[in-house]
Structure 1
């Protein structure tokens, strides 16, 4: 029975044109492969083929001009990202993604066919399930500080991917060792059920205050 191995991870992060995964196109894609002591990093800059909104450029620092001048064709970056993720799953790696329903939904809506065929570990979702009542924000910056993890440059895709991998390692090896006893299937179910429960509570909270909760996503690791 396979268990999550925090020494064999492919940590993945996207910076995009939009905060809506159903509209976003890739600006940068980072894939950090960790196999024991060996670490390989790849970051690809894409020309998304559309204007990068100023709001998005302020977050990740990449302008339309820079992406057009230096970026690879968008579909090539997309295809290589998916190829490396699928290859990692085939080789027994777990995919680490901070807030998986965003990044993986982006891949699915861009390809029209992306599916999850291996284990996913989402440090954001695990943190929300395990420490549900902790006060404060749960951005990658905030959660990195909580776990004592260095985040060198927030919203730079490779830095974000490395920080997510470090948080995953700490969660499994130091903070929540019960996660190590789970098979990968059990860990996937744990995250999916916990995410659903937390999001359902969020939806009910909105509705109890007269706000529309219908847009709250309850599906993990990708949005329906």
Structure 2
């Protein structure tokens, strides 16, 4: 990632997926939203995929897209995957920062579906992780809806990929420019390390808490911004 300067909230690509499963190594893409913000210009691309499998009822209840609708109107799944990865890699090549809310989910989906070809080669800013690391003792849900409310950001249709991506971008802007301005002083490597270390420590504490209560810890992931 050498050559990238610190996070410039006026130059970013905000990215979000809606999928078939909450488990990133099982999920297939239903929608992919990519919002490029470069100075005063913003460009939104939302791609609908036919995931090639039945969309479970539970997933339909989250994003509202049925199997029949995706089959009729969606593009071939692998085309959407390839276009998404190409857009992200192109953004990194142009020096943009990738904004992903809860990055280990979305980026692991891309990594898994691409057979490991997708790799993180540029800076990632994760508003969820930043909030969790910077304000660890706040007793509140950290779902996107709650995070938006906390930072005074308007969220449109929650779980609609473009709305979620835009909200994540706005939260990231507020975090850097209004709430945690020290983040602007970090170069990209420092910012990545800050998030990765903070995520690992937070997940370690979660693992210990669950284990102390005899609860299942198998879903606790320690790797950021992508699961191994």
Contact 1:47 1:68 in 2 (8 A): yes
Deviates more, 1:100-109 or 1:206-215: 206-215
Task: Please name the residue that 1:144 is paired with.
Answer: 148
Where does structure 2 lack aligned partners over 5 or more consecutive residues?
Answer: none
Following TM superposition, the consecutive aligned residue runs of length 4 or more in structure 1 with deviations greater than 3 angstroms are: none
Tell me whether 1:167 sits opposite 2:193 in the alignment: no
Shift of 1:57: 0.4
Shift of 1:136: 1.4
Task: Please name the residue that 2:109 is paired with.
Answer: 106
Q: Distance in 2 between matches of 1:213 and 1:221?
A: 19
TM-score normalised by the chain length of structure 1: 0.99
Task: Please name the residue that 1:219 is paired with.
Answer: 223
Q: Distance in 2 between matches of 1:213 and 1:50?
A: 29
Matches within 5 A, 1:2-13: 2-13=5-16
Where does structure 1 lack aligned partners over 5 or more consecutive residues?
Answer: none
Tell me whether 1:22 sits opposite 2:33 in the alignment: no
Aligned length: 224
Task: Please name the residue that 1:154 is paired with.
Answer: 158
Tell me whether 1:71 sits opposite 2:74 in the alignment: yes
Q: Distance in 1 between matches of 2:216 and 2:126?
A: 27
Aligned partner of residue 36 in structure 2, secondary structure: strand
Shift of 1:212: 3.0
Q: Distance in 1 between matches of 2:155 and 2:175?
A: 16
Shift of 1:70: 0.3
TM-score normalised by the chain length of structure 2: 0.97
Q: Distance in 1 between matches of 2:215 and 2:161?
A: 34
CA RMSD, aligned part only?
A: 0.7
Contact 1:96 1:165 in 2 (8 A): yes
Contact 1:203 1:214 in 2 (8 A): no
Q: Distance in 2 between matches of 1:108 and 1:127?
A: 25
